[in-house]
Amino acid sequence: MTCELLIEEGTPLSTFNSGKTTMQPNSLLRLPVFTPTGRVKQTIGRSSDVSALRDLEFCRAEGYEKAHIFGPKLSIETDFKVWCGIVKVFRKGYSAKGFKLTFLEFAKTCGFDSRTMNKVLRKRIDRSLTRIMSQVLTFEAESGKIGKYHLVQNAFFDPNGDTIEIIPDRSLWELYQADYKTLVGMKVIENLPRYETASCLYLFLNALPQNPIDLSFERLRNRLQINASVAEQNRSIREAIKKLVDIGYLKCSEVKKNGEAHLVIHSRDPKLKMGGKAPIVMDEEDEIENTPVTIDAE
């Protein structure tokens, strides 16, 4: 018997938390799953080491030691919203038959503006479901045993009935539980329109413990996976840090250790009560990342 059989019909997401400030560490957000896509086609595949997922109970039960995720990059602007919507739907409790709802219901659950419920959004969500469905988690055990799982088992969009149907992967129910803890504090992302690197960095920082150790830029580069030289990646990271400081989410400093820059986090504020500048709204033609910045050590 595998551990997936322990998940019975109606099993709820027991870790549901409706608070907006109780952010918990989250496997998918701390790993390079949702990353900046920039202007690169999202159909381009990528493989990332996500071996931290071996701490999931079902991985320990099956003896999995290594894990990789394969598939196209997942964006913040669309894919993360759709993923949040999926997990919110799953809060009803496990169902092998999945969940069916109207497109409007699902889009609102994802957090899309009701004024954008048009053909363009339907196409965006349809393509996003394809990308999310295309994510394959591969787990390996020392014995040679290999398990492959989809981030979502099945997803269906019926344009005629205008409905969305989503079926969870029974084995990954524990992963959905962990993710649901982070479906709060979206105010920061809303204040970072089209700034993907800053939004992805926020997801990573917000999933860290209350008093995280100093973060090397190498660790940040590994999380963000920006396709550029190390110098350009560092520039983008500093620009992202500056935006998080500007909107009032982050207070930090930068220090050098053994020749590598490190981010020192002093405080984080998902409610943005620390103040900061007004959110920047970009035109469609603007570049997502533009000018270099420097964060001086305090």
How would you class 93 by CB atoms within 10 Å of its CB: exposed for 0-12, middle for 13-18, buried for 19 or more? middle
Architecture label for domain 11-180: Orthogonal Bundle (1.10)
- What's residue 283's pLDDT? 31
Tens digits of residue pLDDT in 184-213: 467 788 888 889 999 999 988 988 878 889
Tens digits of residue pLDDT in 229-280: 999 999 999 999 999 999 999 999 999 999 999 999 999 988 887 655 544 3
Q: Is the pLDDT of residue 112 over 60?
A: yes
As annotated, the residues of the chain forming the CATH 1.10.10.10 domain(s) are: 11-180, 187-268
Q: Is the pTM of this model over 0.75?
A: no
Give the relative orientation of helices 81-90 and 173-180 as an angle to the nearest 10 degrees. 110
User: 187-268 domain in CATH 1.10.10.10?
Assistant: yes
For residues 32 and 199, what is the distance between their CA atoms, to the nearest angstrom? 13
- What's residue 98's pLDDT? 92
- What's residue 198's pLDDT? 94
